[in-house]
Structure 1
Amino acid sequence: MSREVQKVLVSNSNLDQLLQMPTKSEMILKGSINYDYGEELVSLNEVNGKKHLMLSAKATLYNSSDLELFVTKPTPNSRFQEVLELLPQQIFCISCTIKSQMLSQDADYVCYLVFKLSENCNEMHGPVEVRDLLQKNKVPGFVYFRTPSPWNIHNITQIPKPRRDGWMEVYVRKFNSNRELENDCVHVNLKFVSYEGSLSGLIICGLEFRPM
């Protein structure tokens, strides 16, 4: 069975121009992935009767025509065969379309970005802005990829937390699986913007959706 997934990967050649990027720009590519063959890009299981979903980095920001923006890396410590490491850039986007049958009905979900920082990553000490491109009137949030000093933490920031699988995760969005349905799908479209240095060295495993 094939499932539709939107894929986005954005260059940071002009930061000011990219900040104005429309949701349905030509940079957003729609495609169909057959999960019965080839590399597994989706992990779906149930815990306590609720569906837990994880999409690989390739299913959310992979674009084979933009290899200058990231490198693929094999990893033995992930449920997916490969992860993506960002090359120097100040902006990246994640976008996916989730079929309703992949989520539990009328459940509140929290979306986490699952990541690591490479050994050569010396930046990303400051907050990174997160914009929900589907809710244009919503105030942007902020996430940290490194745990900041206690006096820098405030109500609108999200800090990374360790996972049992050895990766880190940070909260990026929440939604209700029924209230946000559109054409029997839930859409996620987020833009991450760093105003303090490059995002180079951010290794993305994928997005995990867990019921609250």
Structure 2
Amino acid sequence: MEMNINQLPEECISQVISLTTPRDACVSSAVSFAFRSAADSDATWERFLPSDYSSFLSQSVDPVVYASKKELYFRLCHHPLLIDRGLKSFGLEKSSGAKCFMLSARALNIAWGRDLRYWNWISLPNSRFIECAELKEVCWLELGGRIDSRILTPNTAYAAYLIFKLADNAWGLDNLIQTTKITLFGDIVSEHSVCVCPRRVRRLPGGGIEEMGDDVRLPRERQDGWLEVEWGDFDSGEGIDGEVDMSFLGVQGGNWKNGLIVEGIEVRLKH
């Protein structure tokens, strides 16, 4: 006796779909009414959401309203929540459901960041956070952040990005290369050279220019209008208790610099 797959209980179809990916679930909803009902069900999308998602919802600065788990999933993909009193944001990577976080400038360790002689704290309309840090003038540029590895999606390849802008009158940032370092459980897992200016030449002290090597990472413009530069990557491991430390240092030559506007550090799935 042959059985039509559409005659299977919705719970069975939902179980099968939940073993695929969010993208596959959306595609399968076009197969038939039975598949659409199962693919859109809360049971399916509950399995795509992180097991601890409710703890982040409870930390949200604003109430999170949703009509279904599928709606919540895509809400977190497109509109990350502000959590931890607005100092961080939490969202999901659309294709996989991996957790993504951003540490605001206020959540970072910025050398002399609380000294108004060197840094301003400003509000920008296109930032997800209330405040951003604007560099007034320093010769020692150092900042970094830390995130608990246990809140990340286990066994996932992550990367850390500085999210920033350059003021129209920025100066002193195009003639030096900064260094970045990522430490996991006390071990250095990534070190790179970066430049926050989006061009592959830099000015020399004598007035000349020099082309930077391909090993220097440059920023790219994001769809939201900010710039980002990748600091490095790491694997989150098995969710063991530990810290991921991310740092950025630009002190070569002792030259003064101005005009870096920091929104935060984003930790998201590495592509």
Q: Secondary structure at the match of 2:196?
A: coil
**Deviation per residue, 1:113-134 (Å, 9 max, x gap):** 0111112213322232214285
User: How far apart, in 1, do the equivalents of 2:142 and 2:190 lie?
Assistant: 17
Q: Secondary structure at the match of 1:44?
A: strand
User: How far apart, in 1, do the equivalents of 2:175 and 2:153 lie?
Assistant: 35
Task: Tell me which residue corresponds to 2:105.
Answer: 57
Residue identity (%) = 27
User: How far apart, in 1, do the equivalents of 2:259 and 2:214 lie?
Assistant: 27
Regions of 4+ moved over 4 Å: 62-65, 133-140
Structure 1: which 5+ runs fail to align?
Answer: 2-34
TM-score, length of structure 1 as denominator length: 0.71
**How do 1:16-165 and structure 2 match up within 5 A?**
35=83, 37=85, 40-47=86-93, 48=95, 49-61=97-109, 65-132=114-181, 134=183, 141-149=192-200, 152-165=211-224
TM-score, length of structure 2 as denominator length: 0.57
Aligned residue type for 1:193: V
Aligned residue type for 1:109: Y
Task: Tell me which residue corresponds to 1:174.
Answer: 233
Q: Secondary structure at the match of 2:172?
A: coil
Q: How far 1:204 moved relative to its partner?
A: 0.5
Structure 2: which 5+ runs fail to align?
Answer: 1-54, 56-82, 202-209
Task: Tell me which residue corresponds to 2:6.
Answer: none
- How many matched pairs? 177
Q: How far 1:173 moved relative to its partner?
A: 1.8
1:193 aligns with 2:251: yes
Which of the two has greater helix per residue? Answer: 2
Task: Tell me which residue corresponds to 1:202.
Answer: 260
- Does the 8 Å contact 1:111/1:209 carry over to 2? yes
User: How far apart, in 2, do the equivalents of 1:74 and 1:194 lie?
Assistant: 30
**Deviation per residue, 1:45-67 (Å, 9 max, x gap):** 11231111111111013577423
| Structure ID, larger Rg | 2
User: How far apart, in 1, do the equivalents of 2:265 and 2:223 lie?
Assistant: 16
Higher RCO, 1 vs 2 (CA within 8 Å, ≥6 residues apart): 1
| RMSD (CA atoms) | 3.0
User: How far apart, in 1, do the equivalents of 2:159 and 2:190 lie?
Assistant: 18
Larger displacement relative to structure 2 (65-74 or 106-115)? 65-74
Q: How far 1:166 moved relative to its partner?
A: 0.6
Which of the two has greater strand per residue? Answer: 1
